[in-house]
Amino acid sequence: MHNVSVKCKQQPQLVVAAWPNVIGEPFSTMTKAVRFDEGTLFVNVSNSTLLSILNRAPDRQRLLKALQDAVPGSQIRTISFRIG
């Protein structure tokens, strides 16, 4: 597990690359993970309605858990959604 954690710290693009699979269709075409930095995944969304949906606590927690499961050892603490 330690090796996976070190690898994710050295290659944050692994977390970014996992995003489309975690969010699934149809949202993968309306969102884009842009970077993973210091435990936060930054995701651009296409519109304010989607931003509101993804920022709801239950949806945010579900996505965070799915991302942590998809990239074990990545130390993902939060997801920051922004329109962009």
CATH superfamily, domain at 2-83: DnaA, N-terminal domain (3.30.300.180)
When the pLDDT of each residue in the chain is averaged and rounded to a whole number, the result is: 89
Query: Who wins on pLDDT, 9 or 48?
Result: 48
Q: Give domain limits for the chain.
A: 2-83
- At 11 the pLDDT is 72
pLDDT in tens, 5-37: 555 555 788 999 999 999 999 999 999 999 999
Q: Are strands 31-37 and 40-45 parallel, antiparallel or unpaired?
A: antiparallel
- What pTM was computed for the model? 0.85
What b/e readout covers 41-80, taking b as 16+ CB neighbours within 10 angstroms?
Answer: bbbebeeeeebeebeeeeeeeebbeebbebbebbebeebe
pLDDT in tens, 49-60: 999 999 999 999
